[in-house]
Chain A
Amino acid sequence: MMPELGKYADTVLSAYAVSLLLLVVLAVWSIWRARKMRAELETVEARRKRAQ
């Protein structure tokens, strides 16, 4: 299944590893931050509603 990368195997694999890692970290961080902010805002809005 793995293509024959020859003498440049390290070069190609490291380029893919670095890029995919950065893309995954960016996506996961964005999703985590989105969920966290949504939950925090809901908490603050609920608290304000109770206070009114």
Chain B
Amino acid sequence: MKSIWEYANPKKFIETSQALLPWVTGLTVVCMVVGLVWGFFFTPDDYRQGSTVKIIYLHVPAALMAINGWFMMLLASLIWLIRRHHVSALAARAAAPIGAVMTIIALATGAIWGQPMWGTWWVWDPRLTSFLILFLFYLGYIALWAAVEDDDTAADLTSILCIVGSVFAVLSRYAVHFWNQGLHQGASVMRAGALAGDTEERVSNVFAAPLFLSMAGFVLFFVALVLLRTQTEIRARRMRALMARERRG
């Protein structure tokens, strides 16, 4: 049995991810296209939300990846801090812009949906506020990587920032339960009662099937881009090292 740490070797990572990328990309396209087309064109309106329910196929998967993207970065950062594998630090760096875009999509679609449904684009609700702070953490994380010249120091500092920001990633997910207030509704997709089959608690099957496909599509989209962008970060790091060697003569 091969060790997972084998993939901490940049060359091995590039080889493996190169082989995986076409499959992951193909699955991404299939899940996203089928999920979004099914949801947009072939699902009925909700009796309360009307056609705005179709926004769920973008909003929920984007929010899912905004939060879990940060957790992936946290895991990679911890691996860097403990085992000092460069690939894990670079994978965290590669994931940040994707997570930031997912957060923008979740915030934007939420605001667009909220205007007709809540009567406001924005409210300082615990979940929305913690999500906005998570977005600011993403921006700070990206800026910190860009601001520090030495790669190892940048990886150390951003890993610490990532650990701190994880508080807001957790709050974004559980704010509704912690404070039990605000406009944003609680979970209705992965809720315990929903999974147990309580039809009062969960999203209707008509909406759930395309929603799960769209969620799978977003997860795969994230994975595909992380693989591709990590390869780029590995190459960029190697190039910086070669250029530094050339300058030293």
Contact = CB atoms under 8 A, between A and B. Distances in A.
Interface string A9-24: 1011011101100110
A38 B97 contact: no
Nearest to A31: B228
A38 B246 contact: no
Size bracket of the B interface: 35 or more
Contact of A15 (B50, B109, B246): B109
Contacts of A12: 51-52, 54-55
B101 A11 contact: no
Contacts of A8: 50-52, 116
Contact of B105 (A6, A22, A37): A22
Given A12-B55, A34-B228, A26 B97 contact: yes
B32 to A, nearest CB: 8
Interface in A1-48: 1, 3-9, 11-12, 14-16, 18-19, 22-23, 26-27, 30-31, 33-34, 37-38, 40-41, 44-45, 48
B112 A14 contact: yes
Contact of A26 (B101, B232, B238): B101
Contact of B50 (A6, A37, A40): A6
A38 B229 CA distance: 11
Contacts of B228: 30-31, 34
A11 to B, nearest CB: 6
Residue from A6, A11, A18, A45 whose CB has the most chain B CB atoms within 10 Å? A11
B58 A16 contact: yes
A1 B102 CA distance: 29
B105 A16 contact: no
Interface in B28-53: 40-41, 45, 50-52
Contact of B116 (A11, A30, A34): A11
A29 to B, nearest CB: 8
B51 A34 contact: no
A15 to B, nearest CB: 5
B45 A6 contact: yes
A34 B231 contact: yes
A30 B51 contact: no
B164 interface: no
Residue from A5, A16, A19, A48 whose CB has the most chain B CB atoms within 10 Å? A19
A15 B105 CA distance: 9
Interface string B208-249: 000000000000010001001101100110110011001000
7 contacts: A5-B54, A11-B112, A15-B55, A15-B58, A22-B101, A22-B108, A44-B239
Interface of A: 1, 3-9, 11-12, 14-16, 18-19, 22-23, 26-27, 30-31, 33-34, 37-38, 40-41, 44-45, 48
